[in-house]
Amino acid sequence: MTASGASNSTPGTLYVVATPIGNLDDMSARALKVLGEVALIAAEDTRHSIRLLQHFGIGTPLAACHEHNERDEGGRFLTRLLAGDDVALISDAGTPLISDPGYHLVRQVRAAGIAVVPVPGPCALIAALSAAGLPSDRFIFEGFLPAKAVGRRARLEQVREEPRTLIFYEAPHRILECLQDMEAVFGGERPALLARELTKTFETLKGLPLSELRAFVENDSNQQRGECVVLVSGWVAPEAEDAVSAEVTRILDLLLAEMPLKRAAALAAEITGVRKNLLYQVALEKQKI
């Protein structure tokens, strides 16, 4: 990798490097190699990262790249990259850009036609999902919810009928309020999981329906400490709609366009053999939309 100031027409590479979320043994061999070889490390908090680098005997210079200076200071890193220096981006923990700074820098660097290379590793949401036992084929990451109750509830309402597994980051001092609001909006029966202090000494993964999970956290103040990820099972459509196939729904829709609801449900039942009452319910639901 090139030393700073080299008269090199080939630009350097920006490496986006994941670092541990608690357990230093999770630092990858590749991350160590890259951090040891780049000319400069852009770090969210240099005082925090210096301890990590010292632990691994890495002496690469650090420069601050946090959410307040990221847009303005991006040029500084760009200049180094254009001069041929390789630069690594790290955050305080886990994968940069995931509820962490780096988005603006990566955008600027890519817009300048400079290579951006991910060095993957720890990420709290992926670690939690991998062990949660909730559907993992499709999921959405909602990051941090708004701190105030009104905003938090409004955001939860927006995803109430989201069928994919929902993943949230939450601060420990808000975890109880957050679970209370989730219970109110999603219902107490919805399966959920709290992943706390992942990879650390007091790691806890507790999977329960939301009402029981809220009670578990309410009754044990230790559960209101440390870093946490909340996962909530996606919305499952009510049984009535589920039981009706796409073809039956199509027939019902055609009839509903031509006649009153009750008559349409009765005729659809005659054509398809599906219970009249069930089709009547589905037709009523459709009218609400």
Strands 14-17 vs 116-119: parallel, antiparallel or unpaired: parallel
**Residue 197 found at the interface with ligand SAM (CB under 6 A):** yes
Could you give the CA distance from residue 74 to residue 138 in angstroms, rounded to a whole number? Answer: 34
> Does 227 contact ligand SAM by CB under 6 A?
yes
* Contact in structure between 195 and 168 (CB atoms under 8 Å): no
CA distance 108 to 102: 10
Q: By C-beta, is 21 or 251 nearer to ligand SAM? A: 21
User: Which one among 13, 49, 95, 165 touches ligand SAM, defined by CB under 6 A?
Assistant: 95
Per CB under 6 A, does 228 bind ligand SAM? yes
Residue 45 sits in the site that holds ligand SAM (CB under 6 A): no
Asked if residue 44 binds ligand SAM (CB under 6 A), the reply is no
- Separation between Cα atoms, residue 270 and residue 265, nearest integer Å: 9
Out of 99, 136, 180, 224, the only residue in the binding site for ligand SAM (CB under 6 A) is 99
Q: Sort strands 139-144 and 62-64 into parallel, antiparallel or unpaired.
A: unpaired
Is 280 a residue that touches ligand SAM (CB under 6 A)?
Answer: no
| Least gap, CB of 66 to ligand SAM (angstroms) | 11
For position 22 contacting ligand SAM by CB under 6 A, the verdict is yes
Residue 123 binding ligand SAM, by CB under 6 A: yes
124: contact with ligand SAM by CB under 6 A: yes
Size of the site for ligand SAM (CB under 6 A): 24
Straight-line distance from the first to the last Cα atom of the chain, in angstroms, rounded to the nearest whole number = 59
Give the span between the Cα atoms of 250 and 245, in whole angstroms.
9
